Copies of this chain bind each other. A is one copy, B any other.
Amino acid sequence: MIQFEALFQISYGLYIVSSGNKTAGNGYISNTVFQVTAEPPQFAASCNKDNYTAKFIRESGSFAVSVLHTDADPDLIGRFGYKSGKDFDKMAGMHIKYGETGAPIVLNDCIAFLECKVVQTIDAGTHLLFIGELVQAEVVDDTKDPITYLHYRRVRKGLSPKNAPTYIDKSKIEEKTPASGLKKFECTACGYVYDEVEQDVRFANLPDDWVCPVCGSEKSDFIEC
């Protein structure tokens, strides 16, 4: 038996994994970055084959990982996590530093970054596992804590995007019976659910400039579910 709630007990951080060069680049939000060896330091990142960033990592042979802090802007998570770089330039207007490999490193809301040179690419089905040797690592801000996926889910009520290794079809998780008359509204961009049972304010009474707390989408992007 697979009880999907058990998977929520695996701990992750939240990162922007980026790749490319000064001319073109892209990045995506990832929670699955981890160290695989200490000598030499090597890191693995799981990347959906459909992610636009996968193309940049394959072509450049390198990637960067920006560690986001607990106060990371929902707009930043929305930009890198729930929109595709095929539609617009995600790097435009961002605070970028170019690494030793030439990879763009996103410094917005970042407390530390890693830069890796790919040494192995593993085909894991829907995802590629890029294993990279560390070429650079730096602390950017030591006053804040890294955001964890638990915080993202529990405090921000965020969900994994469909391309994430940890995506779970909501129909697989038991739903609690809603209190009478209260409704749920889902963000069509990121899947965040505004549940009136858990909120003090009915959705209709939220101000017009209210935005999705997870990805920054507008109120009009929500549908009743």
Chain A: residues with CB nearer than 8 A to chain B? 1-7, 9-13, 32-44, 46, 65, 67, 111-114, 120, 122, 124-127, 129, 131, 134-139, 142, 145-146, 148-150, 160, 164-168
Q: With A7-B114, A138-B3 in contact, do A37 and B124 touch (Cβ < 8 Å)?
A: yes
- Structural contact, B35 and A136, CB atoms closer than 8 A: no
- Structural contact, A2 and B165, CB atoms closer than 8 A: no
Copies of this protein in the assembly total 2
Q: With A13-B11, A67-B10, A138-B6 in contact, do A34 and B37 touch (Cβ < 8 Å)?
A: no
Say which residue of B127, B137, B145, B168 sits within 8 Å of A6 (CB atoms): B137
Nearest-Cβ distance from residue A108 to partner chain B, whole angstroms: 15
- Structural contact, B138 and A11, CB atoms closer than 8 A: no
Q: With A11-B146, A111-B9, A120-B124 in contact, do A137 and B3 touch (Cβ < 8 Å)?
A: yes
CA distance A146 to B9 in the complex (A): 6
Residues of B close to A145: CB separation below 8 A? 150
Residues of B close to A136: CB separation below 8 A? 1-2
Q: With A2-B134, A139-B3 in contact, do A32 and B36 touch (Cβ < 8 Å)?
A: yes
CA distance A82 to B120 in the complex (A): 30
Could you show 21 A-B contacts with beta carbons less than 8 Å apart? A2-B134, A7-B41, A10-B35, A11-B146, A12-B34, A34-B34, A34-B165, A36-B124, A37-B127, A38-B126, A38-B164, A38-B168, A40-B125, A42-B125, A44-B44, A44-B129, A120-B124, A122-B122, A122-B131, A129-B131, A146-B150
Q: With A2-B134, A139-B5 in contact, do A36 and B165 touch (Cβ < 8 Å)?
A: yes
